[in-house]
Structure formats: C-alpha cells, structure tokens
Amino acid sequence: MKILAVETSCDETAAAVVRDGRHMLSNVVASQVEEHKLYGGVVPEIASRRHAEIISDVVRQALSDANTPVSDIDALAVTHAPGLIGSLLVGVNFQKGLALSTGLPLIPVHHLRSHIAANYLVTKPEQPLLTPPFLCLVVSGGHSHIVNVRDYTSFAVLGRTRDDAVGECYDKVARTMGMPYPGGYHLDSHAASGNADAFKLPRPHVEGSLYDFSFSGLKTAVINLIHNASQKGESINYNDLSASFQQTAVNMLVENTLRAAKDIKAKTIALAGGVSANSALRSRMVQECRRLGINLYFPPIELCGDNAAMVGAQAYYEFQNGNISGLNLNAYATMEID
Ligand code: KG4
Ligand code: ZN
C-alpha cells in the first residue's frame, strides 16, 4: 500500500511516499529555517504563508522522486494535530482537495505518533524491525513525553513536562548565548568540547510523579547566570556552560525514561522527535541500554526532525485500524496522543 503523506505542523513543508508503513520511497523536506532565523524563532503567519506557496511543488517532487504517479497512490495522509494552527490547516486543506479530486481515503495523523513512527523506517542490518510494545521518549520543540506504545495506535503517556519542552529550553538557552535558531543543534556542538562539570546547575524536583519533567528552572538558572556575568563584565566559557546544561538535561531525560522502563518491564526503548538527534542523549542511552540489556532504537538524524515519511509510516497503521477521515477533517493546535 502506497501512502502520500504531507506534514506542515511547524516550519517544514514536507511530503513523502511510503510503502506499507516501512519503506520510504521519497522524502522531501523544504525548511523555512533561514527565514525564521531572522526573528529568533518561528513566526506563525510567515510559516503558514510559506507552506501555502510551496506545498504543491513539494508534493509534486515527492511523487516524482518516488517514481509514482497519483494514480498509483492508495491513500493520503496528513498531520492534523498538534501544531501551529495556520500551518496545519495548509496541509490539511491541500490533502482534502486531493482526496476530493482523486476519491482516495484520507488518514489524519497525530504529530507525536508520527515522530514515534519514524522508528519504523529504521532499517539496520543488525536490528530486527521495531514493533510494539515498547517505551518511547518523545522529545521535540513542543513536547517531552515518556509514552508506553502498547500497539501501533494505542498509547499511554506515563510522564510529561510540567512546563517547557526540552527542545524549547535548548533553543532559549542557545539564543541567550547568541547561537542561531534553532539552537539545539548548535548547543549540542558547543557542548562536545566543553567540561560538563564546570557549572553546578539545579535539577528541578517534580512533586507527585516519578516520570514527569520540569525544565523551566534549569532554563532560567542558565539564562540568569549569563545575564549576571554580563552585568558584571565577566566572561563565561560557553562550551563549558553548554556541556553542563546538556549533561543536566540529558540526565533528567535518561533517568526518568529508565525508571519507567524498569517499572513497566520494557524490553525495548525508542527515542523520537527533534531532540532525539542530540549526541549526548543518544550516547548515554546506548550505554545504559547496553548495560541493562534493553534494545534501543532511534531514527537516523534526517528523520528526527519534522518530515512526512514518518507521517506516511504511522498512517499505514492508522489505516489498518480504520482511522479514516471524511472531507470535514479539521486541524487542532493541541491534542493528546492517547
Ligand atoms: O521535532 P522537531 O523537529 O519539531 C517539533 O515538533 O517541535 O524538534 C525541533 C527541536 C528544536 O527545539 C531543536 O533545537 C531540537 O529539536 N534539536 C536538538 C538537536 N537537533 C534538533 N536539540 C538538541 N540537540 C540536537 N542535536
Ligand atoms: Zn515535530
């Protein structure tokens, strides 16, 4: 079954053709990052306008790269929630138009479900294909969740952030250090040559849940440290500060995930979302999972951030489960994964 998928939840306009949820036939991502960089973050009005301008070309390219005419497509998929509402609506309306003109079924896909499904596209000779059940740490610019993936379309959130998402925290800290948007990648690179023990940073304590996170205290502590130093005319080694921040954030992510894995006796853990590209998170998880005998999956770097191949992967399983929408499909800025 070939699915043509579209993703426009934030600032990437993306389209892909995916066969049977596992084989990526094409994956086109047009990023708007250069434009949003000027403003230090995504400007929603600009994002939706750019999606509208470029979406037809991106979809045409995805079909052409996959060597697949629309007549060979079996279903259409689109991210319908959560995300920037104006951006989501561009993808949703485009796919509704295509569904109307072709008569193909339309499959709505939850953005975080699709990030998890990026792991279904992993084909490493040394690893069997990932199948549920497994535990997934979903970390992006908007979310930080520990999810029990019971089946392809059955999820339970075990832990989540009480305030900022970890990606948002990375981006704000990086911006304060003068790094370009989105700062996660740049902070990660600076951290590689820093001393992670140079700064003692607070680890916010979260009452009432073993698995929830809180990142805003850490973010504020780092930003205050930078502002105080600049007021006193002191200089800070940003590599050391990046490494110390990264170590604290990654410790929180890894410890809570492993605690949840132990409690539910998970044999397999997957990482997903933009922050799953983080080098420290990956290497800590590789080490810990090897020690504990847990199978670990993470997507290749190009499938960690927003893309449509992951939407096509998840859509295949949503379709099997009968999750098909009418032409009255709407977009939603917020929606729970479960
Ligand atoms: O999943 P994603 O592409 O978009 C959302 O759904 O939010 O995630 C984007 C986030 C941004 O905050 C970005 O800075 C972060 O992922 N990110 C990273 C790295 N690469 C991307 N954060 C830490 N380390 C990285 N290497
Ligand atoms: Zn995302």
* C-alpha dist (Å) from residue 82 to 249, 261, 337: 24, 26, 9
2-117+303-320 and 132-298 in the same fold: yes
Distance from C-alpha of 111 to C-alpha of 80, rounded to nearest angstrom? 7
Q: Are 202 and 245 in contact (CB under 8 A)?
A: no
DSSP designation for 161: B
**Could you identify the atom of ligand 1 that is nearest to the CA of residue 305?**
3
pLDDT reading at 171 higher than 90: yes
CA of 87 to the centre of ligand 1 (A): 18
Nearest CA to ligand 1 atom 20: 185
CA of 112 to the centre of ligand 2 (A): 7
State the pLDDT at residue 204.
Answer: 83
CA of 293 to the centre of ligand 1 (A): 28
What residue type is 204 in one-letter code? P
Work out the percent of the chain whose per-residue pLDDT is above 70.
100
Nearest listed ligand to the Cα of residue 168? 1
CA atoms within 13 A on the CB side of 141: 19
Nearest listed ligand to the Cα of residue 31? 1
Positive or negative torsion for Cα 123, 75, 27, 36: negative
What is the pTM for the complete model shown? 0.97
DSSP bridge pairs for 55: none
Top CATH class of 132-298 equals alpha beta
Q: Are 282 and 272 in contact (CB under 8 A)?
A: no
**Which overall architecture, per CATH, does domain 2-117+303-320 show?**
2-Layer Sandwich (3.30)
pLDDT digits (tens, 9 = 90+) for 256-288: 999 999 999 999 999 999 999 999 999 999 999
List Cβ neighbours of 167 (8 Å cut-off, separation of 6 or more). Answer: 139, 140, 141, 142, 144, 182, 184, 273, 274, 275
State the pLDDT at residue 155.
Answer: 98
Domains of the chain: which residue ranges?
Answer: 2-117+303-320, 132-298
pLDDT band at 326 (very low <50, low <70, confident <90, very high): very high
Nearest CA to ligand 1 atom 14: 184
Nearest CA to ligand 1 atom 3: 305
CA of 113 to the centre of ligand 2 (A): 10
State the pLDDT at residue 77.
Answer: 99
State the pLDDT at residue 84.
Answer: 98
Stretch 126-145: mean pLDDT, rounded? 96
CA of 274 to the centre of ligand 1 (A): 3
State the pLDDT at residue 111.
Answer: 98
pLDDT reading at 313 higher than 90: yes
pLDDT digits (tens, 9 = 90+) for 38-70: 998 999 999 999 999 999 999 999 999 999 999
**Could you identify the atom of ligand 1 that is nearest to the CA of residue 166?**
12
In this predicted structure, which of 81-90, 168-177, 200-209, 289-298 has the lowest mean pLDDT? Answer: 200-209
Q: Are 249 and 215 in contact (CB under 8 A)?
A: yes
Distance from C-alpha of 338 to C-alpha of 335, rounded to nearest angstrom? 9
pLDDT digits (tens, 9 = 90+) for 179-203: 999 999 999 999 999 999 999 999 9
Q: Which token pair is 172? A: 């704000």
**Could you identify the atom of ligand 1 that is nearest to the CA of residue 9?**
6
pLDDT reading at 123 higher than 90: no
pLDDT band at 205 (very low <50, low <70, confident <90, very high): confident
Nearest listed ligand to the Cα of residue 171? 1
List own/partner pairs for 49-57 with CB under 8 A and 24 or more apart: 50/11, 50/13, 51/8, 51/13, 51/87, 51/90, 51/91, 52/90, 54/13, 54/30, 55/6, 55/8, 55/13, 55/15, 55/90, 55/91, 55/94, 56/94, 57/30
Query: Any residues with Cβ below 6 Å from ligand 1, and which?
Result: 10, 140-142, 167, 170-171, 182-185, 188, 273-275, 277-278, 305-306
pLDDT band at 323 (very low <50, low <70, confident <90, very high): very high
CA atoms within 13 A on the CB side of 21: 20
State the pLDDT at residue 191.
Answer: 98
State the pLDDT at residue 331.
Answer: 98
